[in-house]
Amino acid sequence: MPHPDASAFDAAVARQARLTKPAGSLGKLETLACQFAAWQGRAIPSRLRPAITVFAADHGVARSGVSAYPVEVTAEMVKNFVRGGAAISVLAREIDATLEVVDVGVAADFDPAMPIVHAKVRYGSRNLCDEPAMQEQECEQAIEAGRAAARRAIAAGATLLIAGEMGIGNTTPSAALICALSGARPVDVVGRGTGVDDQGMARKRGAVEKALLRARTTDTAAGWLAEVGGLEIAAIAGYYLEAASAGVPALVDGFITAAAALVACGIDIDTRDWLLASHRSRELGHELALTAMGLEPLYDFGLRLGEGSGAALTVPMLQMAIRLHADMATFAEAGVSDRDHE
């Protein structure tokens, strides 16, 4: 995997020091501009061209009372994405991002003419409590669907990749993966997802504990993904792996994408160098998962939607960071006196 360009980073840091502002006064915006400089391999990064890919799939475990919503919502929301009425549809238009929806495992048939990517591996993953969620070959097929989506986005000119997801029940496999890969306990990771009540929470924690116990001899990230993951989570892991291989940065959205990012980093630790976390999700174990990868969220608005929405919301801010870095005058250009040097 390529590494971000350290000399472009240094050149960007030097430029930040010459811009007409007290040193460090633009805080994280300065760091972000320098990070994009390193990612793009140029002291002044160019305007971002974001691509959003939403991966949709269903989950066998969703039939065990672990979600506040019925499984049918996954397929219904896919249609809503396409019609333009979902939150991510609105945000994609607002930030001028492309939006592609990939069916990797929704438990329903779609009209073949519907403008989504038809990459269904199977009608939902199996119930992780009782058996491996995916066979190895199914898992690999889902990873490849994610890799292919990243390749398409990059070939079309995207310079920032955003993965989103839709899958009723998917906070349960995500919690299981985060526990398995970080060593955290289910009580510290399992949250309310779409808003389950206390009984639902107990069922969810029970499901995660049962899955972790059943698959306890698993010893690789890819192995855990197949045992307790899900088809859209596998696809997103593939999407991140491909982004990093191509040297294109990718945003980590909420709880589910963080679980996928942990898997990708478990498969190849260098993936981490190309990831940027957008927000802190309201979902319990999210920050713990980000910390396990050394990622820090940019903001906290109490979001817990998914779809890539939290990541999409950061794009205007990232564009501003780059614009400021590119267009502000230096002290010399503006004839402004710099600080006294000791």
Ligand X SMILES: Cc1cc2nc[nH]c2cc1C
Residues forming the active site: 307
61 φ/ψ angles, rounded to the nearest 5 degrees = -70, -15
Which residue from 69, 110, 123, 331 is in contact with ligand X, where contact means CB under 6 A? 69
Q: Write the binding mask 231 to 270 for ligand NCN: x where contact by CB under 6 A, - elsewhere.
A: ----------------------xxxx--------------
Q: Distance between terminal CA atoms of the chain?
A: 42
Q: What is the DSSP string of 22-45?
A: -TTTTHHHHHHHHHHHHHHTSSSP
Q: Look at residue 275 and give its three-state secondary structure.
A: strand
Q: Of ligand NCN, ligand X, none, which one does residue 256 interact with (CB within 5 to 8 Å by kind)? A: ligand NCN
Interface with ligand NCN (CB under 6 A), residue total 24
Torsion of CA 81, 86, 89, 92, to 10 degrees: -140
Which residue from 100, 138, 165, 287 is in contact with ligand NCN, where contact means CB under 6 A? 165
CB-based contacts of 117, cutoff 8 Å, min separation 6: 100, 101, 102, 103, 145, 149
250-252/98-105 β-pairing:
unpaired
Beta bridge partners of 275: 250
Which residue from 170, 271, 278, 314 is in contact with ligand NCN, where contact means CB under 6 A? 170
Stretch that binds ligand X, among 122-130, 202-210, 258-266, 299-307 (CB under 6 A): 299-307
Q: Of ligand NCN, ligand X, none, which one does residue 212 interact with (CB within 5 to 8 Å by kind)? A: none
Query: Interface residues for ligand NCN in 98-157 (CB under 6 A)?
Result: none
Structure tokens at 163: 């993965």
Nearer to ligand X, 194 or 319 (CB): 194
Sign of the torsion formed by the C-alpha atoms of 194, 200, 202 and 205:
negative
169 binds ligand X (CB under 6 A): no
Q: Write the binding mask 193 to 232 for ligand NCN: x where contact by CB under 6 A, - elsewhere.
A: xx--------------------------------------
Nearest to 235 by CA among 51, 101, 115, 83: 101
By the criterion CB under 6 A, which residues form the site for ligand X? 69, 73, 77, 166, 194, 305-307
By the criterion CB under 6 A, which residues form the site for ligand NCN? 67-69, 165-172, 193-194, 253-256, 281, 283, 286, 304-307
